[in-house]
Amino acid sequence: MEIDNPNVATGDDADKASYLIELQTQTALASQRAAAMPQKEQCKDGGTIVCCECFEPMNPARLKAIPTASSCVECLEAMGK
């Protein structure tokens, strides 16, 4: 297995295994933190989900990709996110 980290790439198998375990642990912790963060509630206009920034109807493709989205792509780009 190739490892991109130059500090580990030249190490022995134990170094590589230790690095991969640490990488997996950090990835799992980041995922747990993201899941635990409170989600911004979606805004609705009647039964239609709208962007909480511009109040335009959300693109169905965006909601399919991210069902909990509260802002449209255009507003996210304007906010620099």
Do 53 and 73 lie in a common domain?
yes
Distance CA 24, CA 28 (A): 6
Q: Is residue 28 part of a domain?
A: yes
The predicted pLDDT at position 31 comes to: 73
Residues 31 and 48 in one domain: no
Q: pTM, whole model, 2 decimals? A: 0.51
Could you tell me if 47 and 74 lie in one domain? yes
Q: For residues 28 and 55, state if they share a domain.
A: no
* pLDDT tens digits along 27-49: 888 777 766 666 678 999 999 99
Give the count of domains, the chain. Answer: 2
Asked whether residue 1 is assigned to any structural domain, the reply reads no
Chain Cα centroid distance, residue 16: 27
